């Protein structure tokens, strides 16, 4: 398995026979080197979106057309993207599971807003925010999406038993490092934690030292540079 951070909340996840682009916001992302887009997206098989905000979804349709693949996201956002003629989509809902080239992707809850804010038409409804449990190769990855702590994390951890956590924890718009560490201690049994939705803007946390300090011994916090592969 290979996990590559694309900056902010974007990831390339190579698992089973799938190459998943999760929230691939590249255009205007201060952390992403624009000249390396082809390298970042080459061979991708599916796009996953946690929600409709532009810093997650604004590039999804463009990349889907470029690569000849589909966007997979909550039903309302999928319907809007398809109705606008922007890309082919697969809409599903929380609790739904898709098998994508051998990887099993289940949509789970997240506590966050989810308006479409990048279309130049003001704010429009975009369904609701979500996270994903991505299972394959003997591992389960919890992609939290933008969220605060929520009680749902308890049953999600018990039911899906993820060993890898990709957690939005930059603060201000999502839970911060301390809150993410608290949630991980209380409910999850992660072996690896990868922080995201941080470093992008000055208002967000610039490092994961507080997350690392708040986790139990044996949990590895991985802070790799953008496009530097994490091999698990």
CB atoms within 10 A of CB 27: 13
What pLDDT was estimated at residue 93? Answer: 98
Q: Does 147 reside within a domain?
A: yes
Tally the domains of the chain: 1
Within a domain: residue 229? no
Residue 10 lies in a domain: yes
Task: Give per-residue burial for 110-140: e unless 16+ CB within 10 Å, then b.
Answer: bbbebebbbbeeeeeebbbbbbbbbbbeeeb
Q: Is 232 within the bounds of a domain?
A: no
Give the pLDDT score at 98.
Answer: 98
Q: Is residue 230 part of a domain?
A: no
The answer to whether position 56 is within a domain reads yes
Is position 67 within any domain? yes
For residue 220, give both structure tokens. 């590895």
pLDDT of amino acid 32: 98
Q: Return the closest-CA partner of residue 4 out of 213, 184, 231.
A: 231
Owner of token pair 């039903």: 75
Give the residue numbers spanning the domain of 128.
Answer: 2-224
Kindly give the confidence (pLDDT) of every residue in the chain, 232 residues in length, as a single tens digit, with 9 standing for 90 and above.
999 999 999 999 999 999 999 999 999 999 999 999 999 999 999 999 999 999 999 999 999 999 999 999 999 999 999 999 999 999 999 999 999 999 999 999 999 999 999 988 899 999 999 999 999 999 999 999 999 999 999 999 999 999 999 999 999 999 999 999 999 999 999 999 999 999 999 999 999 999 999 999 999 999 999 999 999 9
What's the CATH code of the domain at 189?
A: 3.60.15.10
231 located within any domain: no
């Amino acid at each position: 398995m290979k996990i590559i951070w694309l900056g902010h909340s974007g990831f390339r996840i190579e698992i089973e026979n799938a190459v998943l682009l999760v929230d691939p916001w590249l255009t205007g992302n201060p952390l992403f080197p624009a000249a390396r887009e082809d390298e970042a997206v080459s061979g991708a098989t599916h796009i996953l979106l946690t929600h409709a905000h532009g810093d997650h979804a604004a590039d999804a349709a463009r990349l889907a057309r470029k690569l000849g693949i589909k966007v997979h996201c909550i039903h309302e956002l999928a319907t809007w993207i398809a109705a606008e003629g922007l890309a082919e989509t697969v809409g599903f809902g929380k609790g739904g599971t898709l098998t994508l080239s051998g990887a099993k992707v289940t949509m789970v809850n997240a506590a966050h807003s989810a308006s479409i804010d990048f279309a130049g038409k003001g704010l429009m409804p975009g369904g609701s925010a979500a996270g994903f449990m991505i299972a394959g190769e003997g591992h389960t990855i919890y992609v939290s999406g933008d969220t605060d702590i929520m009680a749902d994390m308890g049953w999600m951890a018990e039911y899906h038993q993820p060993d890898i956590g990709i957690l939005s924890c930059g603060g201000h718009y999502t839970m911060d490092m301390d809150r993410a560490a608290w949630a991980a201690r209380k409910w999850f049994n992660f072996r690896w934690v990868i922080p995201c939705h941080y470093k992008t803007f000055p208002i967000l946390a610039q490092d994961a030292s507080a997350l690392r300090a708040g986790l139990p011994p044996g949990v590895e916090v991985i802070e790799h540079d953008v496009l530097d592969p994490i091999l698990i």
